Structure 1
Amino acid sequence: MSTPEHIQDLGAYVAASPSSFHAVAEAGQRLAAAGFRRQTEQDAWEGGAGRFYVIRDGALIAWSVPDDASPTTPFSILGAHTDSPSFKLKPKPTTGRHGWLQAGVEVYGGPLLNSWLDRELALAGRLTLHDGSEHLVSTGPLLRFAQLAIHLDRAVNDGLALDKQRHMNPVWGLGDPAEADLLGLLAARAGIDPHDIGGFDVVVADTQEPRVFGAQGEFLASGRLDNLSSVHAGLTALIDAAGGPSDGPIAVLAAFDHEEVGSGSRSGASGPFLEDVLLRISLGLGAGTEERLRALASSFCVSADAGHAVHPNYAERHDPANLPVLNRGPLLKINANQRYTTDAPGAAYWAALCRASGVPYQEFVSNNVMPCGSTIGPLTATRLGIRTVDVGTPLLSMHSARELCGVEDPGHLAKATAAFFRGGL
């Protein structure tokens, strides 16, 4: 895709993905349209060459096995995550007082709380019925975290302090909470009987459409760029690379859930999902333990997650010698304490891959006095022993309800990933 086409498609993907469950459903639809066949974990899988995907809750793994694949063919894995910092609906979600209807929500991950104020927000996620069936729901504009007027807090511009329990209860209507039912509203939007709902995983999502702006149209503002920008890059690259060299690697997109809360779940990177899928692919190629271990030893994982561009108003928070800028390529993320898993061989591989792809890249390392975040990279490397490198699209306003990236960088990441999937240097 050209840069405008890629950015337009990224915006469409984000808009269709207000929750991790919507993100994998949209990805599955795109993969199916491109000829990938869905596998279900409860059934026997097709072995050998072909293009496939599987969904586990809010996570998806897709792969393309070349025609000449053998039991020792290595994997080229792009790891990313589908979730973003937000708020999750609590049990007994209908609350309120003083004539207002409010929603009881729990903070999910580490959102910039103030960025969610005074926005039109949706509820989105899955409703699970007593019979085990699941239904996706997205309300469109429904909620608002309303900020207190400056007339009632004259010192607000000297420092805003938001209490997660008292202040982060969005309004969604007027009336008596005893006579209202937020869950019933969700059921009506999904076209189901509220009495049939046995459980729900529903989050708050910003409803403002992604938008390109700037003096030369060089910026993209959008919710959930961390980390749907990486999922989208991997998705488009896998579709683009499918049908590549018959003797190439097995290309794998692993889009996990729950990274923002530590990845410790059945659909998170600390769980067995990727290991399970890789094992079943190997078994389908006739691999025994020896062949499988040889394949993993020759494999490579690119952990793609958003990173920090230098902020012009807070440059002192960045390393003075490493100041990434938007539209100068994806980041190679490095940390001495292995919060990122990049090592010298991994860095050399990424540099060669970008050079062969005609893609620029930049290095990111934290200021020594600033704590470093982490990614799925160390988790995957620890669990599977596959050499892993951490990369990502540079952002401003990370964990805001509306983040900012350059329009060139997502396409650069997708281009390098497509070359990676083809095994070409």
Structure 2
Amino acid sequence: MNPQPHLFDRTHTDDLAAFVQAAPSPYHAVATAAARLEKAGFRRLDEADRWDGTSGGMFVLRGGAIIAWYVPESARPETPYRVIGAHTDSPNLRVKPRPDMGSAGWRQVAVEIYGGPLLNSWLDRDLGLAGRLTLRDGSTRLVNVDRPLLRVAQLAIHLDRGVNDGLKLDKQRHLQPLWGLGDSEDGDLLEFLAAEADLNAGDVVGWDLMTHDVQPPAYLGRDRELLASPRLDNLLSVHACLAALTAVAADGDALPYIPVLAAFDHEENGSESDTGAQGPLLGNVLERSVHARGGTFEDARRALSATVCVSSDVGHAVHPNYAERHDPTHHPRANGGPILKTNVNQRYATDGTGRGVFAAACDRAGVPFQHFVSNNAMPCGTTIGPITSARLGISTVDIGVPILSMHSVREMCGADDPHLLASALSAFLQG
């Protein structure tokens, strides 16, 4: 479909940029989402507590994952769910257990590659550090050094004359960022970060820390119709899901379904964790919600049998310099609306019935949508969609927003598309 520039909602996209800036790690993403949910009247539940059947908005946090839902007053134990799913993590460079290293008079930080980043995009960028610190008492503290701190310096062309004929990066030797001058023993990274978080370094016993690009999101293009930003994969979807859930919850007691937001961690490396889509978190929350409302095992099975999930993750917009890499009859364009992803080998979970559900939601929202399939000669990526569908036995549809430079330190999408996605997700949750 043709782009629809008249649909552009600057307010939504401005808010997306603010959300991305506040969320340099999955832990910051869920903390920011939780604060927004609480402002909208949702209350946090503890997984260790007994849940009651109270109606209204609720959420649980675990690490870098968050599950939120709204129970209408009219909900019965067997009332089905409408789930919108996304993931909070992005490919990046993460700090190793022994972080301090150095060479040739430079202080460096030892990092490990997380997920599948476009490695060359991390070269010569101003990087910050963010994540969580674990204390001796078992509590955690978020930390965010959101200023230029680290840099992975590229070798000058004078010392690698063939670099423009093909850059080859050794993942161990070439990607360790520098952060000062001196020997490795001069650079106590944890002491520095503990001070940033107003903690004593001796109290810090663990950490989950990662690099991030400190350049803020920005509009670009002649008419500012594009958005360049870090972590669009997949904070764009997390933000849209959050906006959709809070919007429908404002009049939630009229809903025929129970709307659910499920934002998982660790999608970029397979989802196999207690906070990933492969884990039991979502299934446990949905079943416990049924039981809290007086339901039985049979009621939970009935609720799940009629549940539908939309898995929202970014996809590939057609690249003007590499159009031959895309399917010749499927060319998703920026600002053309969300994409409906299909793969007959179940890399995406969409089937004909799912297409009908999403098409109906887009029609109700007045939102155009596009189709995406991979070129037959190219491997197809995957999402939390097939995992969620197989694990819970629920009908699932894979969708997203088309972007360029996926898995780069800085990605790009149409500035209209985030708002269009959120509108379609709202219509889906409303049924």
Shared fold per TM-score greater than 0.5: yes
Structure 2 unpaired stretches of 5+: 1-6
Residue of structure 2 in register with 1:150 after alignment? 157
Q: What is the root-mean-square deviation of aligned Cα atoms in Å? A: 1.0
- Whole-Å separation in 2 of the counterparts to 1:72 and 1:178: 60
Residue of structure 1 in register with 2:12 after alignment? 6
Residue of structure 2 in register with 1:294 after alignment? 302
Aligned partner of residue 425 in structure 2, secondary structure = helix
Task: Indicate conservation of the 8 Å contact 1:258/1:265, yes or no.
Answer: yes
Q: Which amino acid aligns with 1:395?
A: I
Task: Indicate conservation of the 8 Å contact 2:70/2:252, yes or no.
Answer: no
Task: Indicate conservation of the 8 Å contact 2:68/2:261, yes or no.
Answer: yes
Residue of structure 2 in register with 1:52 after alignment? 58
Match of 2:203 among 190, 196, 203: 196
| Alignment partner of 1:120 is 2:120 | no
Match of 1:108 among 96, 107, 114: 114
TM-score, normalised to structure 2, is 0.97
Task: Indicate conservation of the 8 Å contact 1:69/1:246, yes or no.
Answer: no
Residue of structure 1 in register with 2:399 after alignment? 391
Q: How far has the Cα of 1:247 moved from its partner?
A: 4.4
Q: Which amino acid aligns with 2:413?
A: C
Task: Indicate conservation of the 8 Å contact 1:48/1:69, yes or no.
Answer: no
Residues 289-326 of structure 1: per-residue CA shift (max 9 Å, x gap): 11111111111000000000000000000000001000
Residues 33-58 of structure 1: per-residue CA shift (max 9 Å, x gap): 11110111111223231101110010
- Whole-Å separation in 1 of the counterparts to 2:171 and 2:53: 49
Q: Against the structure 1 CA distance between its residues 122 and 247, is the aligned structure 2 distance closer, same or farther, given a 3 Å change threshold? A: closer
For residues 14-93 of structure 1, what are the structure 2 equivalents within 5 Å?
14-93=20-99
Residue of structure 1 in register with 2:241 after alignment? 234
Residue of structure 1 in register with 2:4 after alignment? none
Task: Indicate conservation of the 8 Å contact 1:103/1:171, yes or no.
Answer: yes
Match of 1:416 among 415, 421, 424: 424
- Whole-Å separation in 2 of the counterparts to 1:281 and 1:351: 29
Residue of structure 1 in register with 2:379 after alignment? 371
Residue of structure 2 in register with 1:225 after alignment? 232
Aligned partner of residue 353 in structure 1, secondary structure = helix
Q: How far has the Cα of 1:245 moved from its partner?
A: 4.7
Aligned partner of residue 318 in structure 2, secondary structure = coil
Aligned partner of residue 139 in structure 1, secondary structure = strand
Residue of structure 1 in register with 2:179 after alignment? 172
- Whole-Å separation in 2 of the counterparts to 1:296 and 1:341: 16
Question: Higher mean Cα deviation, 178-187 or 29-38?
Answer: 178-187
- Whole-Å separation in 1 of the counterparts to 2:221 and 2:253: 40
For residues 251-400 of structure 1, what are the structure 2 equivalents within 5 Å?
251-400=259-408
- Whole-Å separation in 2 of the counterparts to 1:391 and 1:200: 34
Question: Higher mean Cα deviation, 266-275 or 345-354?
Answer: 345-354
Task: Indicate conservation of the 8 Å contact 2:19/2:239, yes or no.
Answer: yes
Task: Indicate conservation of the 8 Å contact 1:89/1:105, yes or no.
Answer: yes
Residues 135-180 of structure 1: per-residue CA shift (max 9 Å, x gap): 0001122100111111111111111111100000000111121122
Match of 2:412 among 397, 404, 407: 404
Residue of structure 1 in register with 2:3 after alignment? none
Aligned partner of residue 150 in structure 2, secondary structure = coil
Residues 31-86 of structure 1: per-residue CA shift (max 9 Å, x gap): 11111101111112232311011100100011111110001111000010000000
Q: How far has the Cα of 1:356 moved from its partner?
A: 1.2
- Whole-Å separation in 2 of the counterparts to 1:247 and 1:347: 22
- Whole-Å separation in 1 of the counterparts to 2:26 and 2:244: 20
Match of 2:191 among 174, 184, 188: 184
Q: Which amino acid aligns with 2:175?
A: M
Aligned partner of residue 149 in structure 2, secondary structure = coil
Q: Which amino acid aligns with 2:69?
A: W
Q: How far has the Cα of 1:388 moved from its partner?
A: 0.2
- Whole-Å separation in 2 of the counterparts to 1:247 and 1:147: 54
Aligned partner of residue 48 in structure 1, secondary structure = coil
Aligned partner of residue 324 in structure 1, secondary structure = coil
Aligned partner of residue 125 in structure 2, secondary structure = coil
Task: Indicate conservation of the 8 Å contact 2:8/2:416, yes or no.
Answer: no
- Whole-Å separation in 1 of the counterparts to 2:157 and 2:8: 45
Match of 1:96 among 99, 102, 113: 102
Question: Higher mean Cα deviation, 297-306 or 179-188?
Answer: 179-188
% of aligned pairs identical? Answer: 58
Residue of structure 2 in register with 1:210 after alignment? 217
Task: Indicate conservation of the 8 Å contact 2:128/2:145, yes or no.
Answer: yes
Task: Indicate conservation of the 8 Å contact 1:245/1:422, yes or no.
Answer: no
Aligned partner of residue 5 in structure 1, secondary structure = helix
- Whole-Å separation in 2 of the counterparts to 1:192 and 1:47: 40
- For this pair of structures, how many residues does the alignment match? 423
Residue of structure 2 in register with 1:136 after alignment? 142
